[in-house]
Structures are given as C-alpha cells and as structure tokens.
Amino acid sequence: MRKSDRLFQLTNLIRSRQPLFARTLAEELGVSVRTIYRYIDDLSVAGVPVYFDEGLGYRLVEGYELPPLAVTQDEFDALVTGVKLVQSWTGARLSDAAASLLHKMQAAAKDRKLDLLFDNVASPVLAERQAEASYWDTIRDAIRLQKTLTLSYADNNQRRSERDIFPLNLSFWGNKWTVGSWCHLRQDYRDFRLDRIAHLTVHQAPPPLPAHVSLAAYVRAVTKKEDALIEP
C-alpha cells in the first residue's frame, strides 16, 4: 500500500473512532508504533489538524472533514461487485438501497472517467433463497434494535422446534446466510440457517437475557467450537 493511502487510512480511522492511542492505530494498520508516530508527524506537516489528547489518545480538531474520496479502478470495481452482491443476497430494503447506490456510482464513474463494470459483473437472484430474503430485514432490524425473535426452525429431518433467540450477527457462507444468536432454549450461542426458518416474529415479552451475552462472547465461542454451534 502506498504511503499516501496509509495516511488517508490513518486519518479516517482517527476521525471515525477518536480518541485512539498509537498502539491501537498500529494494530489496526498492521505497522509498528514508531511508524504511527512518523505518520502523525507527516499528517501535521501536511496540514491535517491531528493532536494528542493527554490520557485519551489522538484526535482531530472538531469539524475537520476529509477531502472528497478518490478511488482507484480496482477499488471502484470492488465497490460495484460488493454492492451487486448486496442487491442480490440480502433483504428487500437493503436490495433497494443497493440499486439506488449503483445509480449514484454509475454517475460518479462517468464524472471521474472510471471504466464501468456494471454490465460485466452479475449476481443473479436464486429462486430458492426468496424465503430467507424475506426474513433478512427483520433480523437486521432486530440486531440493530436489540430485539428478541421467536422462530419456527426445521432441522435436517424437517422436525420443527420453536426458539426464542437474541440475534447478534448475520454471516454469509457463499450461498447461505446464518444468524448468530443466543438461544434461550439451549442457553448457549447457536447459528441458525435462514433457509430453514419457517416463521419469524419479534418477541413482545422476551425472556431475560443473561448479562454475559454479547457479540464478542459469541465470536469467542464460535472460534473455540467452530461449526459445533450450528443447529442441525
């Protein structure tokens, strides 16, 4: 990565998550703490108003805005490909938002003389995933609003069970989505495949959630148990 790109990445990182210590910035960028100090000096010389808030970390002067984002051709192609995947493989609301974003990107591409990749990359919508797509927005909203869901779930043998789950994340596995959750029935973290959900509603009187439940704890559990958490 070019140094200019590193400096832009550093500035954006501080701006979005300030204040941050040099050690955290070094871990995020994959460089040494000494390199971060050099980069901070470079930003100051370039006129970026970065300063150290004693005991808290690096900050940018309030109100500072980055210049308009410039992207390379490869970065633009990555954006187009990613947005098309979102359009085809998520829920209705995010799919509509992706379509709107593609129109804006198409206009920006012409202005900046970027090669268009819109017709050369396709992500077809598969008929068999229409059911899971109908649940995607509800699950996304529940994660954002920290709501408990009640679902009817079918296993490999089409046996149904009712579950109250507290959803924590959505994961895409190439052709299937899973929702990582705290399962009140199992009293443990579980992953549920969206294509095996028969019915889904927001729980109006959810059971109490254990204090230790969190996304970070779920990730640790998945790392330890790998696919052992996936409901059959």
Query: CB of 178 within 8 A of CB of 132?
Result: no
pLDDT above 90 for 153: yes
* pTM score: 0.66
Q: Say if domain 129-229 classifies as CATH 2.40.160.
A: no
pLDDT value at residue 110: 67
| Most confidently modeled range among 1-15, 35-49, 67-81, 138-152 | 138-152
Architecture of the domain defined by 3-60? Orthogonal Bundle (1.10)
Taking residues 181-201, what's their average pLDDT? Answer: 93
Tell me the C-alpha distance between 226 and 109, whole Å.
Answer: 41
pLDDT value at residue 116: 63
Higher pLDDT, 1 or 92: 92
Tokens of 14: 């501080």
Residue with tokens 């108003």: 49
Tell me the C-alpha distance between 166 and 210, whole Å.
Answer: 11
Read off the pLDDT of residues 86-140 as tens digits, 9 standing for 90 and up.
888 888 888 889 888 888 887 777 666 666 666 666 666 655 566 677 789 999 9
Beta-strand (E) ranges in 37-77?
A: 50-53, 57-60
pLDDT above 70 for 188: yes
Per-residue CA distances from 29 to 25, 26, 178 (Å): 6, 5, 29
> What are the boundaries of each domain within the chain?
3-60, 73-111, 129-229
Q: What is the average pLDDT value for the chain, to the nearest integer?
A: 84
pLDDT value at residue 16: 83
